Amino acid sequence: MAHQGGGPSRGRGRPRGRSDARARILAAAAEEFAERGYDAATMRSIAGRAGVDAALLHHYFGTKADLFAETIGAPLRPDLEIPRLLAGDRGQLGESIVRFVLSRFEVPEVRTRGVVLLRTAIGNRLATPLLAGFLSRELLGRIATEIGGDDAELRAALAGSQIAGLLITRYVLQLPGIATAPADELVRRVGPVVQAYLVAPR
């Protein structure tokens, strides 16, 4: 049956085309990140593997960090949120970061996906360096640059280890005490530790 509008019908075919291209990009990104690691994988190499123009990756996903987060199903984006907190009140930075992370993980769907990601990062020999590369480049490196100092990289990594340890013990291992403690109590106790790492005394 002919289309009655007089012109080509674009509405039906376009979504399927977009969906197909997007799926190919995600599949190619998963393979490229797994084979080459986060740092070595490029938007151009992923586009080549997917058989699409590199501009299409930016159109659908934005940056490489955005594409990686979509590929692994990241439940939250600390690489986007933490820099915003760094631009705020430095006197409450540690508590702000701990509160941000815990508040997100208290959302059931975020917690479920987050626990899966944490378990995968710990137990999968391919996923561990991949996630570490992403966090090192997109999060810890930016934090180190922002806080400054000769030992900024170490301090940023120590703060990251504190947060990672808190998430693992509360949501994965579910250690007594930590697992049942109110989030505000953990913010009060852990926040100053993160603060001490990030904001060095002058």
Cβ of 39: how many Cβ atoms within 10 Å?
13
165 lies in some domain: yes
With the C-alpha atoms ordered 18, 23, 28, 34, is the resulting torsion angle positive or negative?
positive
Same domain? 31 vs 130: no
- Cα separation of 202 and 97, whole Å? 21
pLDDT of residue 12: 37
Same domain? 178 vs 117: yes
Q: Classify residue 42 by burial, with Cβ atoms within 10 Å: 0-12, 13-18, 19+.
A: middle
4 lies in some domain: no
Q: Classify residue 5 by burial, with Cβ atoms within 10 Å: 0-12, 13-18, 19+.
A: exposed
- Structural domain containing residue 163: 78-198
pLDDT tens-digit profile, the chain (202 residues) = 444 444 444 333 333 456 688 999 999 988 888 888 888 889 999 999 999 999 999 999 999 988 988 888 788 888 888 888 888 888 899 999 999 999 999 999 889 888 888 887 887 777 778 888 888 888 888 899 889 888 999 999 999 999 999 999 999 999 999 999 999 999 999 999 999 999 865 5
pLDDT of residue 28: 93
Alpha-carbon Rg for the chain in angstroms: 21
36 lies in some domain: yes
- Cα separation of 166 and 11, whole Å? 48
Instruction: Kindly report each contact of residues 11-15 with a partner whose C-beta sits within 8 Å and lies 24 or more positions away, as own/partner.
Output: none
Same domain? 61 vs 158: no
Q: What is the pTM of this model?
A: 0.71
The count of structural domains within the chain is: 2
5 lies in some domain: no
Same domain? 117 vs 188: yes
pLDDT of residue 202: 54
